[in-house]
Structure 1
């Protein structure tokens, strides 16, 4: 047998973390990546004093395991914690930016919700828990908290984080902690208080919103610098099994044998030639939606923007009938994102809400965005910097009925011992979620 008995297909953050943890445990792994770079959608780029994020913009640290991992790879001291102003966030209502309440006093006085909407929230502890495990995010929030919270809190949040709509997503799979809170405590409000100690026991720590001096890709660079066997520009064409051994066929020939294969490839790339899946299984997997998304980075002179842009950014509810999903105040969030006396905004367009907008060309999108930014934050001049990134398929949506997709993963794995399906299509889409999955999978294969 080969000294390298584990193969990893795909150098996204899950695959990279698994490879790193396997090496830490004395296990060799060959990592195959079809591109000439690692990290998947995590990409940072510097252009003439502007630091841009093409994919994820921040890392929300709340788990001890992820904090320890950052320390182990040598990044703990290099982390950059978001500006204190980032706790201030905005929702657009009636065409204006309204601050999201951060305290009980703010919640009582906020114009974001009507008196009726606020009183409706007080009924939450008395709402019966659901017996429907297939409830959508929209159904869950409407039932427990009312229409206004759905329309002006959850709807824009889902658009900003998942580039999708709450009606399409499964509550149990998109927000499993909230679903379990209702099941265990019968109430989100009671569960928030009663579950504090339990969350600490599970390794929860004080939250930090962070990045790094060179952007989030510094995380990728720190991991790859410590790996030995990363094979770039190796597009894997087929994974096959012969007896108990696995073999990888890439653009550079055959590789193997391997005892285990970690398959960290987006679902939309799966096909029967690539891995041992049945047609009906691929049909089920093909139902998972990856909405298209455009990300537009715009730089302005500070004197050309009326709004101070203090805070994290703003999100746009669907009821506002605007074209943009929201924007980050990137140069407020972290230092070094824009030249002195300039603002950097990161704007999102399309997603599951308006997928037809995402593929539009840069000129047309810029006109749309500028028209809306003028009314929202008082932009008075054209941007001095612009960059447009288009993701034809952005973030996988855990749709209502996602259990059938998860059952399909399990069926493929059970029928093919040694094959492990891992990525943001399973157990969470965030960067910390994927880090934890990679660590756990490496632990499993090393035991």
Structure 2
């Protein structure tokens, strides 16, 4: 019989608590969340007229072991009927754009797109892919995403396509981000086959096995590219929270910021502003730097490694326009850093989840992402930036990039401070070092969440499952 304290009530902490609840080995679970709500960056606004706006992740991928795992959880929670799938044949899946040299360019797709020169690229992509087989395998343990793609596929693809992709996924600089940690399937493909082409053809070397449940099987049969929920992605943490409340074994605490963690005879003493609790084991879903400030000085090597994980701040501006105002249809467009360092991309929410539009009258919903690794350089310190200035920048971008002269009829600005960890070169060594320190010193501590093993919703949920399996020594 043991007590487990879960620090952080975002999707990682909630997922870990969910899996702990599945085991009779755990008698009590205590979840400590510093804010007034659970769910972390999974945050949806549901307007009274039926419209739904996402301020964080908006679509979740179903692929791979981690994707199947999330769908299994969704099914188990009784949410299958609320899933909104987007298939690979959908226009939002097929049409993705880059904004380069003041123009929108559709990314090449299909064989014809690879055979001919498609702006903004100066030559067809197929020769680069064909010649990639002849490129020698890298010698180092890690390298930047930009260096890796430049070496294997050419500088132009690195400067434009990969730069934009890293800004869209990580809000980060591809010249600093680690290819091994950010795109492990590319790194492993080169290691496995000597080239990306051969490595990908040889298939994955993943050891994670997750059997697909009914919903995951349906996603394969119907060829889903991504999915959401009818009331927004925040429905997932809300439903997990309800599950935990009904379990009878979970204590959920809001506005319970952790101040200090100190070892005790039985495990840990956790100090908060209004009291102290004891736990046999801690699963920390806190951001790395937040955890570092709570650990005792005896954990100095771990503290230093945690503090070396940097984060990016992202401004998310939701916009609604009357009518159909888009000149193109698709998922959205990304913007390379060479074009505009402050603007990361514009997502065409109405195209892929029209179910989230208000039911009466045609509208267009967009989300403009700004800042990231360039936030302070472009906008200044997050605490000094006004919502008004960010809204102006976002609406000007929509006007310039998409030719929209009208003003939005509704808007919301959110500044997510330190929301996306930046996996710089050597990140894998840092994580290995932290977990080695924990094991060597017999600390009853598990590290989960986006700071370590992947920033996607699926990765974070799976990190909670993995930690619970390792703690209990058996499958969940």
Question: TM-score, normalising length from structure 2?
Answer: 0.87
Q: Which residue of 2 aligns with 1:433?
A: 459
Aligned residues: 442
CA distance in 2: counterparts of 1:190 and 1:236, whole angstroms: 48
Deviations 1:270-316 (A, max 9, x none): 3454445544543332222212211111111225x2514x2111101
Give 1:103's match in structure 2, choosing from 105, 110, 132. 110
Matched, 1:296 2:322: no
- Residues 132, 164 of structure 1: alpha-carbon distance in 2 compared, 3 angstrom cutoff: same
Is structure 2 residue 113 aligned with structure 1 residue 113? no
Q: CA-to-partner distance for each residue in 1:15-72, whole Å, 9 max, x for gaps? A: 1111111111222311111122111111111234431212111111113322222211
Is the Cα contact below 8 Å between 1:247 and 1:255 reproduced in 2? yes
| Structure 1 residues 322 and 137: alpha-carbon distance in aligned structure 2, compared to 1, 3 A threshold | closer
Structure 2 residue 406 is matched with structure 1 residue 381? yes
Q: Does 1:137 align with 2:145?
A: yes
Contact 2:132-2:153 at 8 Å conserved across structures: yes
2:434 to 409, 417, 420: 409
SS at match of 2:377: coil
Q: 1:302 to 1:171 in 2, by over 3 A?
A: same
Task: Flag structure 2 segments of 5+ consecutive residues without an equivalent.
Answer: 213-219, 246-250
Secondary structure, counterpart of 1:254 in structure 2: strand
SS class of match (1:5):
strand
Counterpart for residue 33 of structure 2: 33
The equivalent position to 1:268 in structure 2, one of 273, 289, 292, is 289
Deviation for aligned residue 1:85: 1.8
Report the CA distance between 1:6 and its aligned residue.
Answer: 1.1
Question: Aligned with 1:168: secondary structure?
Answer: coil
Call closer, same or farther: CA 1:386–1:42 in 2, change over 3 Å.
Answer: same
Q: In 2 relative to 1, CA 272–325 (structure 1 residues): closer, same or farther, beyond 3 Å?
A: closer
Once residues 301 and 277 of structure 1 are traced to their aligned partners in structure 2, the CA distance between those partners, rounded to angstroms, is: 58
The 3 A distance-change label for structure 1 pair 203 and 159 is farther
Out of 311, 319, 327, the position equivalent to 1:307 is: 327
Kept in 2, the 8 Å contact 1:134–1:172? The answer is yes
* Partner secondary structure for residue 97 of structure 1: strand
Distance 2:188 2:98 in 1: 27
| 1:328 pairs with 2:347 | yes
Tell me which residue corresponds to 2:80: 76
* Cα distance, 1:432–1:403 mapped onto 2, change above 3 Å: closer
Q: Summarize the Cα distance change of 1:5–1:411 in structure 2 as closer, same or farther, 3 Å threshold.
A: same
Q: 1:369 to 1:281 in 2, by over 3 A?
A: same
Of the three residues 22, 25, 30, the one matched with 1:24 is 22
Is 1:253 equivalent to 2:261 in the alignment? Answer: no
* 2:367 equivalent among 346, 350, 355: 346
Aligned counterparts, 1:105-184, within 5 A:
105-109=112-116, 110-115=118-123, 118-184=126-192
**1:395, 1:429 within 8 Å by CA — same for their partners in 2?**
yes
Partner of 1:8: 6
Matched residue, 1:241: 263
Change (3 A) 1:85 1:443: same
What secondary structure, in the 3-state scheme, does the structure 1 residue paired with 2:137 have? coil
Q: Which moved more, 1:435-444 or 1:264-273?
A: 264-273
- CA contact under 8 A between 2:284 and 2:291: conserved in structure 1? no
Tell me, in whole angstroms, the C-alpha distance in 2 between the residues paired with 1:348 and 1:14. 23
Aligned to 2:373, what secondary structure does the other structure show?
Answer: coil
Greater shift, 191-200 or 157-166, is seen at: 191-200
Alpha-carbon offset, residue 235 of structure 1: 1.5
